[in-house]
Amino acid sequence: MALKTGASVLRLNTLRNAAVRYVERVLQLLSTHTRPEVAQNTKYAEFPGAKAPYVTEMKFLNESSYDPIPIYRVLDNSGSVLESREEPSIDKDELVNMYKTMVQLTQMDKILYESQRQGRISFYMTNYGEEGIHVGSAAALSPRDLVFAQYREVGVFLYRGVTVTELINQCYGNHEDPGKGRQMPVHYGNKHFNLVTLSSPLATQMPQAVGAAYALKRQPNNDRCVICYFGDGAASEGDAFAAFNFAATLDCPVILLCRNNGYAISTPTNEQYRGDGIASRGPALGIRTVRVDGTDALAVYNAVKQSREYAIANNKPVLIEAMSYRVGHHSTSDDSTAYRSIEEIQKWTTDESPLHKFKMYLEAKGIWDAEAEKTCLKESRDTVVRTMQEAEKKKRPHWKEMLEDVYYDMPPRIQKQMKQMEEHLKKYPDKYPLDQHQD
Ligand SMILES: Cc1ncc(C[n+]2csc(CCOP(=O)(O)OP(=O)(O)O)c2C)c(N)n1
């Protein structure tokens, strides 16, 4: 066989690339929408509710009328960059910090989950599988941007600078918990770091976030945006629709970031919706939208960074659907093997692990190795164990705290209840562990 010259190899490659592009284009044209044909020079109707062309062929649209919205990714499963132009320029220290945050989060989840099983805290929720969404988005934001989280975004809190001590104090409800033990564990909040305290009822944060974004927009020279995290399950709430529509019609600088992890407790997404995920709702409501691989921290980073710039420059919302998989049980109140197989879960802990692919990426860059991994794991684990032991020893808030702070001036009926409680405790002091509470 004759040897090919450099020039002929180049020509062959060019021809092959052109052929591939042609086939891709044909496939695209064949598969794209079956929207009704609109003849050229068609007059557009001018209804107040829609500016659209008239047609004479009636065609109903459904979810299969459109291609599925593609999933943007930067890294493949082995942590290699797929297109070099898409690799974000993130400082090496920040990349390492992103990874260390993911490791810290995983260690905290492992140990606190076990501590609930041992009866030391009442409830816990893990974040396994979604760590990339947390650090990718947090790194792309300004610390001044306001965060409205759901509950499975603790990595954002850690990345912002909330300490493991503060988080564990909240889970233990001791007197150093800023919420004074009144909330369930994992309902964090931190005013200093612009992290709005979480609410249990799903989607509560969504209209609130949009309202906050509207308030930001009204400030002169605004350079901040709001980010609102929510799950695919929360997106089924009426409040989610209200939030989307207000964000669009009031032109609010808000990033609506859906963590689509496949399940809302025991309700899988195939029972949750019929359309193309959550992303398809964005264009329907006039919201700029992108779908990303949520197991790829760099894809999330790029999407949030661009969305932030767009939202602030244009006073417009952006919807991001980050595809992921909830690897852990929904919470300590759930056994997910009742509604999904162990094999299904395992697939997502290996090939698609956000930590694994990010670690491989750092290793290939020469900024992480086995030694760094060992030290990081040990330090993260030690921090959690030490902090947990300290948190357990701290006293609980004074019992009166449970009736305070709701009203600026305590109404007479609550004053009455407080007095009754005081008398009751005096009468039965041995029935309550008052020594464990602050004096
Ligand atoms: C209004 C309301 N309904 C039901 C619940 C009970 N609940 C708590 S979490 C949850 C599932 C939410 O799923 P999703 O939003 O997808 O978030 P994920 O837990 O998967 O991260 C449900 C139904 C609730 N907290 N609030």
For the stretch 347-404, pLDDT in tens is 898 878 999 999 999 999 999 999 999 999 999 999 999 999 999 999 999 999 999 9
Using 50, 70 and 90 to split pLDDT, how confident is the model at 3?
very low
Strand, coil or helix: 301 = helix
In order of their start, the domains of the chain are: 84-392 (3.40.50.970), 399-436 (no CATH)
Dist. CA 261–CA 188, nearest whole Å? 21
CB atoms inside a 10 Å sphere around CB 281:
21
Average pLDDT over the chain reads: 93
Q: What is the arithmetic mean of pLDDT over 115-130? A: 97
Name the maximum alpha-carbon separation found in the chain: 103
Could you tell me how many residues make up the chain?
Answer: 439
Res. 4: pLDDT tops 70: no
From 198, 202, 271, the mutation candidate for ligand 1 (largest count of ligand atoms within 8 A of CB) is: 202
Mean pLDDT of 337-352: 91
Ligand 1 atom at minimal distance to the Cα of residue 235: 15
Q: Which residues line ligand 1 (CB under 6 A)?
A: 152, 200-202, 231-234, 259, 261, 263-265, 326, 330
Closest CA to 215 of 130, 315, 305: 315
- DSSP-assigned letter for residue 288: E
Residue nearest to atom 26 of ligand 1 (CA): 201
Catalytic (active site) residue 331 = yes
Residue 200 appears among annotated catalytic residues: yes
The C-alpha angle 356, 301, 152, rounded to 5 degrees, equals 70
Instruction: For residue 50, give the H/E element and its range.
Output: strand 50-53
Task: Note the pLDDT of residue 43.
Answer: 81
When pLDDT is averaged across residues 91-119 and rounded to a whole number, the result is 98
Q: pLDDT tens-digit profile of 182-212?
A: 999 999 999 999 999 999 999 999 999 999 9
Distance separating alpha carbons of residues 176 and 187, to the nearest angstrom? 14
Report CA(283)–ligand 1 centroid distance (Å): 25
Element (H, E) at 375: helix 370-393
Give the other-Cβ count within 10 Å of 3's Cβ: 6
Rounded to the nearest 10 degrees, the angle between the axes of helix 92-117 and helix 354-365 is 150
